[in-house]
């Protein structure tokens, strides 16, 4: 599997750039760039686009994997 695919796969399940970089042995800047590229190409949803979904999470107290690390999700 390519480094890009590995980074995107981990990001899809809520991995943070810092954790992904450490796990895969890649530079944090490179991981950030790969995640940005994945968002631009539509391969990943951006966190900014998903932030409106927090309202439902607050009502149901269900946190999606992609929300891991979000300060709003941690408040649940």
pLDDT at 65: 65
Task: Give the residue-averaged pLDDT of 7-34.
Answer: 93
> Which residue segment(s) compose the domain that 33 sits in?
1-45
My answer on whether 26 and 63 are in the same domain is: no
My answer on whether 38 and 57 are in the same domain is: no
Task: Indicate the number of domains in the chain.
Answer: 2
Distance CA 55, CA 31 (A): 29
My answer on whether 12 and 39 are in the same domain is: yes
Cβ contacts of 3 within 8 Å, gap of 6 or more: 24, 26, 30, 34
pTM of the complete model: 0.61
Task: Give the residue-averaged pLDDT of 48-66.
Answer: 57
Question: Which band of pLDDT confidence, cut at 50, 70 and 90, is reported for residue 1?
Answer: confident
**How is residue 56 written in tokens?**
């439902």
My answer on whether 38 and 8 are in the same domain is: yes
């Amino acid at each position: 599997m390519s480094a890009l695919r590995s980074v995107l796969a981990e990001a899809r399940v809520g991995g943070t750039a810092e954790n992904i970089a450490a796990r895969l042995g890649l530079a944090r800047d490179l991981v950030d760039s790969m995640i940005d590229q994945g968002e631009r190409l539509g391969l990943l949803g951006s966190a900014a686009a998903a932030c409106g979904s927090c309202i439902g999470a607050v009502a149901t107290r269900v946190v999606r994997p992609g929300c891991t690390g979000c300060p709003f999700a941690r408040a649940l």
